[in-house]
Amino acid sequence: MTVTVRELTPDELADAWQLGRLAFGSEPQPAPHATAPVPGLTRYGAFDERGLLVGKAADLHHDQWWDDRTVRAAGVGGVAVAPEARGRGVARALLGGLLRGAHERGAAVSALFPTVTAPYRACGCPGTGPHHT
């Protein structure tokens, strides 16, 4: 599947929320921030050949401490792919687009806490340690 990855426009945020609701479950109506631009959050969409949204992901801008200094970072979250598009490279394209955008804004590292690790490891994201809850 050929997809185009780009930042979502404000008019596309409701569709992205619906895709996230399908993937993660949520309330029947979105919270106000879910369908509006949020400072420090860049939302990406993957669009198929017909222009339909088939995947979404978000970059939460933040800093991390490394050797007594702050480093710009990308918090990868909200990654969701439409069921009919899974296994066709959409998540890989989304992650690549998000990380390119994060690099362009100065992020040197990224972090994520995946529910499913295999797709991220296939893209080169290693596990760095246990996550205890």
List pLDDT tens digits, range 4-34: 999 999 999 999 999 999 998 888 899 999 9
**83 falls within a domain:** yes
**36 falls within a domain:** yes
Count of the separate structural domains present in the chain: 1
* Look-up of token digits 């997809």: 3
**130 falls within a domain:** no
Residue 33, domain extent: 4-122
- The tally of CA atoms less than 13 A away on the side-chain side of residue 41 is 17
Sheet architecture: strand order including 69-81: 4-7, 41-47, 53-66, 69-81, 109-111
Q: What is the per-residue pLDDT for 128?
A: 58
* Look-up of token digits 């710009």: 72
pTM over 0.85? The answer is yes
Q: What is the per-residue pLDDT for 126?
A: 66
* Look-up of token digits 């993660």: 24
**132 falls within a domain:** no
Residues in the chain: 133
